[in-house]
Amino acid sequence: MSEQHFPTQTPQPVAAPAQNAAIFIVGTLKDSAQSHALVRQWCEGYAGTVRAVGHRVPEAQLSCIVGFGSEAWDRIFGQPRPALLHPFIEFGPAERRAVATPGDILLHLRASRMDMCVELATRLIGDLGDAFEAVDEVHGFRNFDMRAILGFVDGTENPVGQDAVDATAIGQEDQNFSGGSYAIVQKYLHDMQGWNALSTEMQERIIGRSKQSDIELDDASKPSWAHNALTVIEDEDGEEIDIVRGNMPFGRPGFGEFGTYFIGYASSPTPIERMMENMFVGNPPGNYDRLLDFSTAVTGGLFFVPSHNLLQALSSRSAVQANALDAKAQAAVNANQHTGSLHIGSLKGTLQHE
């Protein structure tokens, strides 16, 4: 069978600016033929659901990004597959490790109002039915003037406009998947008592920026183990490689839990992986990011974010391509395509009686 080539379209809104509210949901997908068929059909109706909910309050600027993990891609969509998609790589020793945690699907919702995020998440997850099981959910919020819970401005070096699109969109080097992106997520929990016990000067040395002005420390004042010293990645020509960070703070004061949800989008996962290696292992090894003395990564995942039209095209993957459909599930998909209706409910019924 010849390799299928998908037309390109606009990327998902990975380069959009942060909003006041965000929900990050990572889940696993049931490994069955009926579940796989339902997920593919869900991909076709996904954009319509986002539009329908967003239309209720247009000024809320609701958006959602969906991505798929390496193992889920192979099970549900088969070949061809994104060239650089692979399981999350763990870095660092046991006492400061970038851990890998389960995750087949990522939903990143953003809006100026949390109720819009909750409504959309409810509908998208409802349409997945028993095929989906949540393993992590974080509700993020804008903290004063874009500051993390740690008190420093976050996302200072994000590219904007076309530069952000260029940094995140895959080009013709992987033509079946051009317009897509890679996303790496990590949930960090912070030792706020230990952090707040530090002097402002020491906090600034760890971050590499002035706390009040957000101005980067000069080379003479900034240690080689400062956070922003280790997370700047350059190409072979010495040019900095940009990524787009959609980080958000979160907190549960009643439980004493405060943290940062890191999400980085890029046209390749390699620059973000190099950042993590510098942070957790050190550059050189042992010269690690001292922020990790106060921040612990408790989740980690790598996802491929298809372009808009590829996401819809995934619904028509054949049984041969996906290697996962039985005759009953394929018949349900064909019937939906013939009538032009999603029939999510009927597919969910098939799944529930599996």
Q: Which residues are catalytic?
A: 154
| Chain position carrying tokens 């292992």 | 281
Question: How far is residue 232 from each of residues 144, 217, 220, 347, measured CA to CA in Å?
Answer: 26, 14, 17, 47
Decide if 205 contacts 198 (C-beta within 8 A). Answer: no
SS3 258: strand
Spatial separation of the C-alpha atoms in residues 109 and 101, rounded to whole Å? 20
| Chain position carrying tokens 């020793």 | 93
Name the region of 194 (left: φ>0; alpha: ψ -120 to 50; beta: rest): alpha
Number of H helices, E strands in the chain: 12, 10
Structure token digits, residue 214:
């957000």
Instruction: State which H helix or E strand residue 280 sits in.
Output: helix 270-280
| Chain position carrying tokens 């889940």 | 27
Beta-bridge partner residues of 140: 22
Decide if 96 contacts 292 (C-beta within 8 A). Answer: yes
Burial of residue 94 (number of CB atoms within 10 Å: 0-12, 13-18, 19+): exposed
Residue 345: how many other CB atoms lie within 10 Å: 10
Q: Look at residues 242, 35, 182, 16 and name the one whose alpha carbon lies nearest to residue 109.
A: 16
